[in-house]
Amino acid sequence: MDSKNSLSDYLLFILSILLCLGSQFLFPPCGPKADGSWMLCHWAGVFISATGGIMIILNCARFFFKNLRRGLIHLGMIALSFLAIGLAGYAIPLCQMETMRCQAIFKPAVLLICILILLVTAADILWRRKG
């Protein structure tokens, strides 16, 4: 079972790409101010994108190195998901107004993708324990 890639491998890869690129292009936080400077929520988007990039690297390692322990990748995905949730609005503050793009679109999208990553990872762990 470990020699073949499963549906969860592909789902985690797609969700990681969505987190990485989505936080910059699909659901980015607020844009620059009128003077060209950035608000703090911009840096939350940058760090979320970097976290998604690390998840992509972990998933690529899963595809290319068949002898790599899945448990290590599972732990990494879980830790990075919680890190991304913590970064988006908690460790790096977002705008105070609930109607701002970072609060209304960015934060819920990051939360949803990270929860999906956690669910797919948990399902993969349970599936492999039964198999």
pLDDT the model gives residue 55: 97
What mean pLDDT comes out for the span 2-30? 90
Residue 37 has pLDDT above 80, yes or no: yes
Helix-helix angle 107-130:70-87, to 10 degrees:
160
Other Cβ atoms closer than 10 A to 95 = 19
Q: What is the pLDDT of residues 55-90, one digit of tens each?
A: 999 999 988 887 778 888 999 999 999 999 999 888
Q: What is the pLDDT of residues 42-64, one digit of tens each?
A: 999 999 999 999 999 999 998 88
What mean pLDDT comes out for the span 6-19? 95
pLDDT the model gives residue 47: 96
pLDDT band with cut points at 50, 70 and 90 for residue 107: very high
CB-CB contact of 47 with 92 (8 Å):
yes
User: Which DSSP string do the residues of 47-115 spell out, in sequence order?
Assistant: HHHHHHHHHHHHHHHHHH-TTS-HHHHHHHHHHHHHHHHHHBTTTB---SSTTSHIIIIIHHHHHHHHH
Residue 131 has pLDDT above 70, yes or no: no
93 contacts: CB under 8 Å, gap ≥ 6: 40, 41
pTM of the model: 0.91
